Amino acid sequence: MKFDVLTLHPEMVRGPLSCSILGRAASAGHIEVRVHDIRDWAGNKHKNVDDTPYGGGPGMVMRVDIVAAALEAIRTPDSHVILTSPAGATFRQKRAEELALGKHVIVVCGHYEGIDARIEQLVDEELSLGDFVLTGGEIAAIAFVDAVARLVPGVLGNAASASDESFSSGLLEYPQFTRPRSFDGMDVPEVLLSGHHGRIDAWRREQSKERTRLRRPDLWSRHVDESGSDG
């Protein structure tokens, strides 16, 4: 699967997306991640990409013609283009799973006071990390690519990992433990030492539900509504 990120600050994006699991996945050929400087399509000596807003107001606005030129150079029939925007739908695990079924994701990072609103006609969807404002779309773009890329076959060493984590089932993940067996008066739950897989699975399911109910009542309510019970 291919990912392209269009940004004014490629140095903010390249590092995180070339490290750890994603870096190894790219080296192995499971994914391809390219980061582009929007200024490369500016077409002027000083590579200016922004201008003052029509109607007045603070800040600068990115020009739609420059972003459109970048998109035209990169977009293919297989591309799905995402605009990072606080006005977009909140990004969730289900959307990551849907995007992972595609072949090519392009993420356009907004900056300054945003991009000329006509960009909305040139993208497939707008997505947001949540109800807060960042200085630019780069952090959101990293999160989108990471969340989607890790679901691509071959990226995670254990294929079961992605389906066994928080949000994949609509619930938070159960607590995990490893050595030492006892630490500062806190012991590993005995059931995990029993070797009885049925009991362990049942314990983990209950822990997952209880954690979600206590820590994320919003997710718990959604789970109850979708499952039709509190199970």
pLDDT tens track, the chain, 231 positions: 999 999 999 999 999 999 999 999 999 999 999 999 999 999 888 999 999 999 999 999 999 999 999 999 999 999 999 999 999 999 999 999 999 999 999 999 998 789 999 999 999 999 999 999 899 999 999 999 999 999 999 999 876 566 666 677 889 999 999 999 999 999 999 999 999 999 999 999 999 999 999 999 999 999 999 887 776
pLDDT value of position 161: 67
Q: Are residues 8 and 64 both part of a single domain?
A: yes
Is 160 within the bounds of a domain?
Answer: no
pLDDT value of position 44: 87
Q: Are residues 54 and 6 both part of a single domain?
A: yes
pLDDT value of position 159: 64
pLDDT value of position 167: 79
Residue 231: both structure tokens together: 């199970």
Q: Are residues 110 and 200 both part of a single domain?
A: no
Is 144 within the bounds of a domain?
Answer: yes
Q: Are residues 101 and 207 both part of a single domain?
A: no
Q: Are residues 67 and 106 both part of a single domain?
A: yes
Q: Are residues 127 and 197 both part of a single domain?
A: no
Q: Are residues 143 and 63 both part of a single domain?
A: yes
Q: Are residues 52 and 86 both part of a single domain?
A: yes
Closest CA to 169 of 94, 67, 78, 89: 94
Range(s) of the domain holding residue 38: 2-149
Is 195 within the bounds of a domain?
Answer: yes
pLDDT value of position 128: 96
Q: Residue 213 is part of a domain; what is its CATH number?
A: 1.10.1270.20
pTM above 0.85, yes or no: yes
Is 57 within the bounds of a domain?
Answer: yes
For residues 93 and 163, what is the distance between their CA atoms, to the nearest angstrom? 11
User: How many domains are there within the chain?
Assistant: 2
Is 171 within the bounds of a domain?
Answer: yes
pLDDT value of position 170: 87
pLDDT value of position 125: 98
